[in-house]
Amino acid sequence: MRTNLQTFGKMERSLIFLIGTAFLFSCGNADPSGGKTPAVPVTPSATPEAPPTMKSLIPKPQSVQPAPGGFSLTAAAGIYVQTGSGEIAAIGGYLAEKLKPATGFDLAVIPAAGAPGAGNIYITLDGGDPALGEEGYTLAVTPDLIALVAYMPAGLFRGVQTLRQLLAAPIEQSTVQPGPWVVPAGVIRDQPRFSWRGAMLDVARHFFAPEDVKAFIDWMAYYKMNRLHLHLSDDQGWRIEIKSWPNLAMVGGATSVGGDPGGWYTQTQYAEIVAYAQSRYITVIPEIEMPGHTNAALASYAELNCDGVAREPHTGIDVGFSTLCVGGDATYQFVDDVIREVAALTPGPYLHIGGDEVQTLSPEEYISFVQKAQGVVNKYGKRMIGWDEIGRIDLLPQTIVQYWNGPLAQEAARKGAKLIMSPSSRTYLDQKYTSATELGLNWAGNIEVQEAYSWDPATQLEGVSEGQVLGVEAPLWTETIRTWADAEYMVLPRLIGIAEIGWSSASGREWNEYRLRLAEHGPRLTAWKVNYYRSPQVPWK
Ligand code: TNX
């Protein structure tokens, strides 16, 4: 181990120097001598010009203070991690894994009791400022050292994404590139605006393999998102194994929109997806739709229908026609069993019950059913989430409403509920970019990259203030999305703007500046080999 108190002292001094310099810079009073205190006052000069990678970070950090020079990453660097924490070592391992393909460096992750010597990376909670919260971090880069400090491990993980983005775009290539690998010097202090920065994947209309979901999780992680909502059941397909009701997957999982192949996740595969997300500090929210959007369940079990007759599979894209038999005993056994099994597989505190678009129940029937479902979710220790329509019931204080389209979410907010903002005209990733887009629907309007970016969750709904908004979430509905390449095209780059809306402060967030930063991400998306939409609104590199 190459650590001792002397080098720690040195690191602290350089940190203090950097922060002090940053303070001077922010006061417009920079010292161009590189930190040697001059004997006589020097004429104030401008803040050093930030290198391109610092200017193109997405989401935009809370504060960036560039300094002269940079840190050269070499094969000799070690990733020193605070000793005694397997979790922090895993974050170091993740960083090493991300840096390896393009650099060819096999960087060792080394437990350290203090900061290492020159040429290394240091990742620690030691000295982490509680004011940074769960996900905030400070990244201080000098020519000698990269020091990533946070209050909680999630903050370290978010900071690692910033570090990846501070390296030139070829770092994202999957084969060895020439480099050099220079991280610009400076101090970044950063934390999110909203605690909920989500994306939803509809695996019910079309099924996507665990590998695809993991790729989606990796895009989310790169842009510091933290909630993955999986839409696991709908009229056209049931996508998770339920041991007490096996036909849900066996029968209900066999179909998709348009007669395309079905599929479902075994409980083991679901647990693997959850663990993969967890290792990226992303919480999975499973959604089991009820009482509507249930044809796949109604086709799997006759007793869930009031007339006792199993429904035919549904492969069309109409909505609103299906409902569980809200007066039937089997229905409540089903609801209890499914919620119990899904809750047990899900470490996160949330469970989404859908609740949208039921056209075949009276308001009283709807309310009584959702009220009972809320009780079951609560009994199994989860916070219920539902779309707008659940705003009609008496919500428990912990229940969350996901706004998509209607006034019911606003009403719920007036009664004190917290909202996740998914306005369909801004966040729906299944809506066409323009009328020329072949994929997608357009009932909520065309959503070009600018429309998806230029709005604010705290001012979107009259009477709903920032304090009632947990954050933002963008859903990809997949009625028209048949392949993963199609999903890539609709999600990227719009999801990147949603990620910034969730993370970065509203002041100074501006389309004409954002589009230039987004342009710099084109080569990164290309390096990932994803089929992203090269919007003419963005001056792509
Ligand atoms: C509305 S948003 C739906 C989905 C569809 C989507 C298509 C919501 C709660 N319901 O069932 O897939 O529109 O854009």
Question: Six-digit token pair at 99?
Answer: 């840096």
Q: Specify the residue with its C-alpha closest to ligand 1, atom 4.
A: 477
Percent residues over pLDDT 90 in the chain: 90
Summarised one tens digit per residue, pLDDT across range 54-92 is 999 999 999 999 999 999 999 999 999 999 999 999 999
User: Residue 49 — very low, low, confident or very high, per pLDDT cuts 50/70/90?
Assistant: confident
Mean pLDDT (whole number) for 230-257: 98
User: Residue 406 — very low, low, confident or very high, per pLDDT cuts 50/70/90?
Assistant: confident
Atom of ligand 1 lying closest to residue 444 CA: 14
Q: Which of 161, 149, 241 is nearest to 187 (CA)?
A: 149
Return the pLDDT at 508.
Answer: 85
Return the pLDDT at 46.
Answer: 61
Q: Is 277 helix (H, G, I), strand (E, B) or coil?
A: helix
Ligand 1 mean position, distance from CA 430 (Å): 9
Choose, from 272, 357, 365, 411, the residue flagged as catalytic.
357
Return the pLDDT at 45.
Answer: 52
Look-up: residue for tokens 């181990």? 1
Q: Specify the residue with its C-alpha closest to ligand 1, atom 2.
A: 404
Atom of ligand 1 lying closest to residue 424 CA: 2
Q: Could you tell me which residues come within 8 angstroms of residue 510 by beta carbon, excluding any fewer than 6 positions away? A: none
Return the pLDDT at 419.
Answer: 98
> Ligand 1: which of 477, 479, 490, 494 to mutate, judged by most atoms within 8 Å of the beta carbon?
477
Mean pLDDT (whole number) for 438-451: 98
Ligand 1 mean position, distance from CA 68 (Å): 50
pTM here is: 0.92
User: Does residue 119 contact residue 74 with C-beta atoms inside 8 Å?
Assistant: yes
Return the pLDDT at 2.
Answer: 32
430 lines ligand 1 (CB under 6 A): yes
Return the pLDDT at 27.
Answer: 28
At residue 106, what are phi and psi to the nearest 5 degrees? -100, 75
Return the pLDDT at 72.
Answer: 98
Atom of ligand 1 lying closest to residue 402 CA: 9
Q: Tell me how far apart the alpha carbons of residues 457 and 11 are, in angstroms, rounded to a whole number.
A: 40
Ligand 1 mean position, distance from CA 477 (Å): 7
Return the pLDDT at 3.
Answer: 32
Q: Which string of b and e fits 338-371 if b means at least 16 CB within 10 Å?
A: bbebbbebbebebbbbbbbbbeebeeeebbebbe
Annotation says 357 is catalytic: yes
Mean pLDDT (whole number) for 508-515: 96
Q: Tell me how far apart the alpha carbons of residues 89 and 114 are, in angstroms, rounded to a whole number.
A: 14
Return the pLDDT at 457.
Answer: 97
Percent residues over pLDDT 70 in the chain: 91
Q: Which helix (H) or strand (E) holds 52?
A: helix 52-55
Atom of ligand 1 lying closest to residue 205 CA: 12
Atom of ligand 1 lying closest to residue 404 CA: 2
Secondary structure of 190-241 in HEC code, one letter for each residue: ECCCCCEEEEEEECCCCCCCHHHHHHHHHHHHHCCCCEEEEECEECCEECEC
pLDDT at 42 over 90: no
Instruction: Considering only residues 205 and 2, tell me which one the structure prediction assigns the higher pLDDT.
Output: 205
Ligand 1 mean position, distance from CA 339 (Å): 22
519 lines ligand 1 (CB under 6 A): no
357 lines ligand 1 (CB under 6 A): yes
Return the pLDDT at 536.
Answer: 98
Return the pLDDT at 23.
Answer: 31
Q: Tell me how far apart the alpha carbons of residues 412 and 419 are, in angstroms, rounded to a whole number.
A: 8
Mean pLDDT (whole number) for 39-68: 81
Return the pLDDT at 192.
Answer: 98
Ligand 1 mean position, distance from CA 80 (Å): 47
